[in-house]
Amino acid sequence: MIQAGNGNFYGVTYEGGSHGDGTIYELTPAGELTTLYSFCSQTNCVDGKGPVGGLIQGTDGNFYGTTRSGGAAEYYGTIFKITPSRQFTTLYSFCSQANCADGDEPQVSLMQASNGNFYGTAGQGGVSSYCVDPTIGCGTIFEITPAGKFTTLYTFCSQPNCADGDFPYYSGLIQASNGNLYGTTYQGGANGNYGTVFEITTSGKLTTLYNFCAQTGCADGESPSSGLVQGSNGNLYGTTLEGGANCFGAYCGTAYEITLAGKLTTLHTFNPAAQGANPSSILQATDGVFYGLTTSGGKDADGTIFTLSQ
């Protein structure tokens, strides 16, 4: 959920609602819940279904988000806007271009950059001759204006052997203090299929900052499982789903720090039994400490909540 300027909380559900395909809701601090919109309210679900990644509130006061499926092309997802007064608009339907060159199946939230436009990633789609399965595509980075003008900024696996990364499933984008955008890919990279950290300008110039599994035994981690956050010191922080020092094939995972110049430091390798494993998120709170979640491991093997100091 996010807390909007009016003090209320807003979020999405992936399923449920009048048609079983997800909702947008408002929740007051007192616990009063209002369903603002039920997806698949339009014929053939052209308004989308299965909202993912949550909402953001734009500088215009409206809320923006994505659905994983539905849309004018039926299966490939949408970008939508809803006003506080519940006026819903589908801004864009993915796979509107031949061979889904514009991407499909967005799975993370949007971000609004300082230029007022929104940026995000699509987990699949895009046209690349190097992608292992060109019929699926290896993912894209896109820009969309508040009025709905859509631009594909980058298609992953544009380099041989997908050295630039592919499948940005779990990573939205952030805009760092230097004005550039940063994110991760779950697979691809120069060291094989272990994922990357990338930088991209708002004009679409992509630079791979780091290729995971650069160290023996993937001690630096593999398969980034979250987007990035910029810490109070200006560096970026994230997690990997697997890898780590002395992991010996177990699904441990790591938390890492990376500078804007691409120097990566592994801050922690998770101990599955004691601390949890497969971390999926991280953020920095106002006390300067990082907080996050693991999706498995811990006392009952069902995941943990952790803290990490710089």
With 0-12 / 13-18 / 19 or more C-beta atoms within 10 angstroms meaning exposed / middle / buried, residue 196 is buried
* 44 closest CA partner among 22, 70, 24: 70
Phi, psi of 160 (to 5 degrees): -55, 140
Helix residue ranges per DSSP H, the chain: 272-275
Average pLDDT on 46-60 reads 96
**Is residue 280 left, alpha or beta, with left meaning phi > 0 and alpha meaning psi from -120 to 50?**
alpha
Amino acid 164: pLDDT? 97
Residue 2: strand pairing partners: 10
Question: Is the separation of the CB atoms in 160 and 154 below 8 Å?
Answer: no
Express each pLDDT in 136-160 by its tens digit: 999 999 999 999 999 999 999 999 9
- Please state the φ and ψ torsions of residue 100, each to the nearest 5 degrees: 55, 40
pLDDT band at 249 (very low <50, low <70, confident <90, very high): low
Coil/strand/helix, residue 171: coil
Dist. CA 241–CA 278, nearest whole Å: 4
Of residues 269, 277, 270, 283, the one with CA closest to residue 295: 277
Q: Find the farthest-apart pair of alpha carbons in the chain and give their distance in angstroms, rounded.
A: 55
Q: Can you tell me the distance from the alpha carbon of 193 to that of 212, in angstroms, rounded to the nearest whole number?
A: 9
Cα dihedral 294, 298, 303, 309 sign: negative
User: How many other C-beta atoms lie within 10 A of the C-beta of residue 52?
Assistant: 19
Kindly list the domain boundaries of the chain, sorted by start residue.
1-93
- 26 DSSP β-pair partners: 10, 34
pLDDT digits (tens, 9 = 90+) for 14-48: 999 999 999 999 999 999 999 999 999 999 999 99
Q: Looking at residue 170, what is its pLDDT?
A: 86
**299 vs 264, residue with greater confidence:** 264
Residue 9, C-beta contacts closer than 8 angstroms, at least 6 positions apart: 1, 2, 3, 26, 27, 28, 29
